Amino acid sequence: MLERAQATAAVTRETDRADPGGNPRAQPDPAAMMGVAGDNESETAAEVDHRLRTEPRDRAWASTAEDGLKDAVRAAVDQGAGFSIKTVRCLTSLCELVLSAATPDHLRMTALQLGHRISGMSSFRVGQPESETDGSAVVTYRLFRQGYPAPGE
């Protein structure tokens, strides 16, 4: 829950940067990233998992979105963040970003360190950090492309 609260604080700050087309960069909607509560939560997670397994890849957008996520992580690391990208994969309506760190403590502030750097997404959901067998930790972001509704919305 703390990670979600931190994420909400991070995405409420707007930037005045523009995308390459000159349009203002959309920041994720903090209300949308809080997820769906109650019985619908497992249905929503199942829908996202299904999309990740079956959705085709929009090559032009997905490549650009992946590069943007890599740039956001690189910028956060340059500012002292203690995590790195384990995997990043974008399809048509969503991306999955898995971050890795030496300990779960290094993942606690990811939303604050990344939220304002991510553009082109309407919302994102952050999983809880998980410990790996080697003692390191990972956290998974599911980011939803602007103009495509996230499951449960």
Q: Which residue has the higher pLDDT, 98 or 135?
A: 98
Domain residue spans of the chain: 2-145
Which helix (DSSP H) or strand (DSSP E) does residue 87 occupy? strand 83-90
- CATH for 2-145 is 3.30.1360.100
Residues 6+ apart with CB under 8 A from 126: 3, 4, 7, 33, 110, 111, 139, 140, 141
What proportion of the chain, given as a percentage, has pLDDT over 90? 61
pTM of the model: 0.74
Retrieve residue 151's tokens. 């499951």
For the chain, give percent helix, strand, coil, nearest 5: 40, 25, 35
Taking only the tens place, the pLDDT of each residue in 29-44 is 433 444 434 457 788 8
Judged against a pLDDT cut of 70, whether residue 62 lies above it is answered with yes
